[in-house]
Amino acid sequence: MTITLKTALRSTCVAASIAGLGAFAAHAEPKTNMMHQWAQGSEAAAIAKLGEMFEAAGGTWEQTAISGHTSNTLAKLRSDVVAGNAPAAVQLKGPEIAEWNATGATANLDETAAAQGWDDVVAPELLTVMKPTGSWVAAPMNIHRVNWLYSSRTILDELGIDVPKTWDEFNAACDKIQAAGKICIAHGAADWSDTTTFDSVVYGMDQELYRKAFQEADLDALRSDGMIAAFAQLRKMVGYMDDGINGRSWEQSMTMTMTGEAAFFLMGDWTVASANLAGFSEDKDYYCTQTPVDWGGNGFILNSDSVVFFKQKDADYVEGQKLLAEIIMSPDFQSTFNVAKGSIPARTDVDLSVGGFTKCQQQGLEDLKASVSEGTLVRSMAHNMTVLQKYRGAMMEVITEFVADDSISAEEAANQLADAVELQM
């Protein structure tokens, strides 16, 4: 699929539409209570901008922030729906959108989408996610790239190491860095961090294996020699980490790389926003490149935050849903939100050369286009964009136990991965 850049004319028309809706919404007293997981840091700052724009357009904004895992949000959502008190708007993504759509609880956004021309401007790879049965039930807020490798310029310059492009080059660089008495990989203790790293390992070694194992939950792929090789690479990488990962946050891991305490950090593009907010600079303190791939070309592991809307009986909340959906899909919000979040817009007609987008973000868009063109784009298992949560949770448990326990062999881990998923079928 090819992403087509649209003209600025449509952006202007949509902005005018938002302004007009704002005047109407003020009369209708639109309200919303958005449930989300962004309680801290740059993510909380990004969602705050959405609230500010909603109120500026005449709406009454309330939010319910639920920290931690997606499972925490889902538990609260199920409880509210069963109680007949479904929230107006919820931050959900990937297969969870289709699952909730199948219950009949989601609202239909087709009228708003048609008025704003969403089909013409949303990145094609997101359409089936937001329209699981052909009608819009969710609005995408961004496109994240999961497979970024952040490299410490200080260490690479000091040791004369180039940014590695393959896993063999990565291992060779780490051997040299460790020999110099330095930490090669900055890493924290969280199952999603372990799985984010493993996403990049499996994808970078064999993208077809990634699709079979992590997008289809194919048991043979999960148990295959390729998966064993991927776990062996992960075991090697755990050996390149220091002993202080327990209790370390991803932000602390990020800082280790930016300050030259560690050479590499594997993490999504939200790192860009946090690093720059902390005063670190691209190319001066760190380089951002795709994580290694053994098959050449451009790769992109996609994650996308979105807001799903649930049916409401109160007319004010129904009007609030229309207003919120229009704002989320406006070029102004897509630009402001993604500059703050480190990601790139879900709309393909936003100009990233203006508005404060960083070089890494601009590179992310170029790599996305190249990956789409080359057919290498995949959605992230680690960030809940592929298999159902029950399969993802089972996989994450095995992967993080493997990282924590060096007595588990790569062969045992691959079998455990397949067994854990099979138990959920």
Do 244 and 324 sit in the same domain of this protein? Answer: no
Residue of 403, 405, 373 whose CA lies nearest to 201: 403
In a domain, 20, yes or no: no
- Phi then psi for 301, rounded to 5 degrees? -100, 115
Closest by Cα among 235, 261, 165, 213 to 407: 235
In this prediction, the residues of the chain whose per-residue pLDDT falls under 50 are: 1-26
pTM comes to: 0.86
166 in the same domain as 131: no
386 and 361 fall within a common domain: no
What confidence score (pLDDT) does residue 16 get? 42
Residue 5 belongs to a domain: no
Provide the pLDDT for residue 27: 61
**Residue 187 covered by a domain:** yes
Same domain, yes or no, for 246 and 340? no
Q: Is residue 90 part of a domain?
A: yes
342 and 378 housed in the same domain: no
Segment 296-324, tens digit of pLDDT: 999 999 999 999 999 999 999 999 999 99
Residues 194 and 332 in one domain: no
Q: Which of 366, 398, 413 is the last residue of a domain?
A: 366
**C-alpha span between 205 and 360 (Å, rounded):** 23
Report pLDDT digits (tens) over 256-267. Answer: 999 999 999 999
**The predicted structure's pLDDT at residue 28:** 61
Judge whether 75 lies within some domain.
yes
Q: Are residues 115 and 255 in the same domain?
A: no
Residue 21 lies in a domain: no
End position of a domain, from candidates 366, 389, 412: 366
Residue 281 makes CB contacts below 8 A (sequence gap 6+) with none
**Same domain, yes or no: 176 and 273:** yes
| Domain span including residue 268 | 145-302+368-423
Burial zone of 215 (CB within 10 Å; 0-12 exposed, 13-18 middle, 19+ buried)? middle
Residue 109 within a domain: yes
Domains of the chain: total? 2
Query: At 410, which CATH number?
Result: 3.40.190.10
pLDDT of the residue at 11: 40
Alpha-carbon distance of 160 to 339, in angstroms, equals 33
Domain match, 222 and 326 both? no
Residues 132 and 173 in one domain: no
